């Protein structure tokens, strides 16, 4: 029992403590405060600020971490009053990302986010400097302040970083187009940080990606190929984890990396099944997915760490007040929960023990087969533009000429085929109708001696 709001605040405080330890800090004390209306000077009230100053001095702490985003003024005022460095939640997360970035692209992205965050806080170091004097004719007035000079240098550096990231994004898009030409579907792992994404990635692919029981253990995206699925090879992408109040500058800086999530054929949304706050974590991940434009990508919810559910059930009766959660804790065997006419909605697995991984692979196969268009299509001779677009996009797996056009075997994600429905002169609408009617991958195209365009009744021929 207990107050749900109080329990949530305790969980958020524990998460923030874990963030601090992930950054390399040693937590020597904490101080909570209920804030109905933030104080524009300190964020907290003056009484709480005095208590903070006294506790900082008693513990001899050299850093104050605040579990909230502070304005530059609030951060500066707290530093002066407590006589100690102050870092807000945004600055802390940026510091962790800076430590974990390994790839060239990741380092550029983190530096850009840090500079954007720093650009509003430059005033703290240069208030004691005088203006630079102009010395030449026509420049007798006050020159730039050191603050203005630093802002100009920061702006130049940010522009340089953005240009470098544009080049990296071009390279990423080139590789992405090559994957599309090969018609290899992509699945991306997403989820709250420390939900076990990297461990699951290693279990499924056999890769050796770094995995640890800490927040943001993985930062740079990694792609590996999965073979042996009935739907053919699949590329699996391990992406950065999400967290509550993820800095907007960080999301913007990582837009090219997060594009692996936005442009995936399907998302494996990894959830820590043993986390009592898992529903809130799911909501936070869905909010970030919406922010980056990935809310419409199909998802399979992967409830990981079912091996810990048995531990929680054998210990204190944590779920006594929640019969649904108690039932879920007792059902620790791997399983699939199917919804929407048989399509998989939830998979219960353990990445550590490997339980349920085969079920997850089957679920991935089912979902990708449903969301792909594959089969033989008979194109009339006046559909040359449509044929060219299909070939340029890499959707054509086989082709042979026909008496009145072409016979092509297409294989592509449905989401990539649908934009072609807008082609002019009726070609897009024709393609939409053929896809909607269903095409069979096992049906061979008509022989060369037959008219591939006509059935009885004069309709355009399409295998089904």
Structural domains of the chain sorted by starting position, each given as residue range(s) with its CATH number in brackets: 4-96 (3.40.50.11060), 185-370 (3.40.50.300), 372-437 (no CATH)
- What is the residue-wise DSSP string for 216-241? T---S-EEEEE-S-TT--EEEEE-PP
Least confident of 13-22, 77-86, 170-179: 170-179
**C-alpha torsion 415→416→422→423, nearest 10:** -160
Pairing of strands 299-304, 234-238: unpaired
Tell me: the pLDDT tens digits for 327-365? 444 457 888 887 666 555 789 999 999 999 999 998 888
> Which run of H or of E encompasses 252?
helix 248-253
Quick one: angle between helices 255-262 and 104-118, nearest 10? 120
Least confident of 24-38, 232-246, 374-388, 430-444: 430-444
Confidence of residue 54 (pLDDT cuts 50, 70, 90): very high
Alpha-carbon distance values, 411 to 182, 186, 398, 463 (Å): 9, 14, 10, 14
Least confident of 51-55, 141-145, 166-170, 330-334: 141-145
Nearest to 113 by CA among 98, 100, 102: 98
pLDDT at 19 over 50: yes
What is d(CA 239, CA 258) in angstroms, rounded to the nearest whole number? 7
Least confident of 139-143, 237-241, 284-288: 139-143
CB 308 within 8 A of CB 264: no
Nearest to 355 by CA among 273, 242, 283, 260: 273
What is d(CA 305, CA 392) in angstroms, rounded to the nearest whole number? 43
């Amino acid at each position: 029992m207990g107050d749900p709001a109080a329990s949530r605040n305790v969980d958020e405080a524990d998460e923030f403590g874990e963030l601090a330890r992930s950054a390399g800090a040693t937590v020597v004390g904490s101080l909570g405060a209920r804030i109905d209306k933030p104080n524009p000077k300190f964020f907290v009230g003056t009484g709480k600020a005095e208590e903070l100053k006294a506790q900082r001095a008693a513990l001899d702490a050299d850093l104050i971490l605040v579990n909230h985003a502070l304005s530059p003024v609030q951060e500066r005022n707290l530093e002066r009053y407590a006589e100690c460095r102050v870092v807000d939640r945004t600055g802390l997360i940026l510091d962790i990302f800076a430590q974990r970035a390994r790839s060239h692209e990741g380092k550029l992205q983190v530096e850009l986010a840090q500079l954007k965050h720093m650009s509003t806080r430059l005033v703290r170091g240069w208030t004691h400097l005088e203006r630079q004097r102009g010395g030449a004719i026509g420049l007798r007035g006050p020159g730039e302040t050191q603050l203005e000079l630093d802002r100009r240098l920061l702006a130049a550096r940010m522009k340089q970083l953005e240009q470098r990231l544009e080049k990296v994004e071009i390279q990423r898009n080139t590789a992405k187009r090559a994957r599309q030409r090969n018609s290899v579907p992509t699945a991306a792992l997403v989820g709250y940080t420390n939900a076990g994404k990297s461990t699951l990635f290693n279990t499924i692919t056999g890769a050796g990606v770094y995995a640890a029981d800490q927040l943001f253990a993985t930062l740079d995206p990694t792609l590996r190929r999965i073979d042996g699925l009935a739907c053919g090879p699949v590329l699996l992408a391990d992406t950065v984890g999400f967290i509550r109040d993820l800095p907007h500058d960080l999301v913007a800086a990582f837009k090219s990396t997060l594009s692996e999530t936005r442009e995936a054929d399907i998302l494996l949304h990894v959830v820590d099944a043993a986390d009592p706050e898992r529903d809130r974590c799911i909501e936070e991940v869905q909010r970030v997915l919406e922010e980056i434009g990935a809310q419409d990508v199909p998802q399979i919810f992967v409830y990981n760490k079912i091996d810990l559910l048995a531990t929680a059930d054998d210990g204190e009766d944590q779920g006594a007040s929640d019969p649904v959660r108690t039932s879920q804790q007792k059902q620790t065997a791997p399983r699939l929960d199917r919804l929407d006419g048989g399509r998989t909605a939830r998979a219960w697995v353990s990445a550590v023990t490997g339980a349920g991984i085969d079920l997850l692979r089957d679920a991935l196969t089912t979902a990708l087969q449903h969301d792909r268009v594959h089969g033989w299509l008979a194109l009339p001779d006046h559909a040359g533009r449509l044929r060219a677009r299909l070939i340029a996009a890499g959707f054509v797996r086989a082709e042979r000429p026909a008496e009145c056009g072409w016979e092509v075997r297409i294989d592509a994600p449905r989401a990539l085929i649908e934009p072609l429905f807008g082609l002019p002169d009726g070609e897009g609408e024709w393609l939409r109708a053929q896809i909607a009617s269903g095409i069979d991958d096992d049906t061979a195209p008509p022989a060369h001696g037959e008219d591939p365009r006509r059935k009885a009744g004069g309709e355009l021929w399409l295998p089904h």
